[in-house]
Amino acid sequence: MKGLSQGQADNWFDQGNQLYKNQQYKEAIMRWEAVLESGVHSGEIYFNMANAYYYLNDLASSIYYYEKALELAPKDPDIQANRAYVQNALIDVVRAQPKTLFQKWDEASGQLLTADAWAWLSILFMALFVFAVLSFRWVESPGAKRLSFVTALLSLMLFGGSVFLGQKTQSYSKNYRWAIVFQQEMSVRSGPRLSDDALFELHAGTKLRLLQTQDQWQEVELTDGRRGWVLAQDLKAL
């Protein structure tokens, strides 16, 4: 499907929408998957797939694709509402720990823009800095020189801020990796062995943070702070 044109991808997308309206959910998902395989990704496609999986009673896949949709459209109220609705149907109820003001700022600053966007902004601010420095040498009036000086100073500060936030975004993406439980029921163990004690049970659709990996085992953390080890094959990374 890599050779699909944009027009062909749009055609598959529209076919999927029509099949969805006709309640042919499996067939609709197949059309949208073809679009994704062609390299076209959008919050709308993931949102539609999540809705279709919900009607197929596959809550784990539904939650997975709502999360994928939110990665591309994090402020979309329809995606947020539908995900919340499906989450209420899950077996596991995980209440997130309250976060301090610093923790909220730390997470928010790591998700403001993509690392690529910060990189482009840093290039822009550096170009503005160079232009302001050259202007300072070219202009003669005191007012114009002051303006060039202030512009150079601000652009240098913004350049530094962009580099810092870009590095922070990369660090956030590396340290905050998530997955959805796809096993109907699984035990979370105290260590990476079947002989280790089972701490608690989790069920399909629960979202987990991925920590370290050891062989076929994955250490995970819930939003309420509980940690443990599970078989990596029971999860699907976002």
Q: Find tokens 């919050």 and name the residue.
A: 43
| Whole-prediction pTM | 0.80
Where helices occur in the chain by DSSP H, the ranges are 6-21, 25-37, 43-55, 59-72, 77-87, 101-109, 115-138, 142-175
Q: What is the third-level CATH fold of 6-87?
A: 1.25.40
Q: Find tokens 């303006």 and name the residue.
A: 147
Average pLDDT, the chain: 91
- What are the residue ranges spanned by the domains of the chain? 6-87, 101-173, 177-237
| Most confident range, picked from 55-59, 136-140, 141-145 | 55-59
Beta strand extents in 132-195 (DSSP E only): 177-181, 185-189
CATH number belonging to domain 177-237: 2.30.30.40
pLDDT for 56 beyond 60? yes
Phi, psi of 231, rounded to the nearest 5 degrees: -70, 130
pLDDT digit string, tens, across residues 194-234: 999 999 999 999 999 999 999 999 999 999 999 999 999 99
b/e string for 198-208 if b means 16 or more Cβ within 10 A? eeeebebbbbb
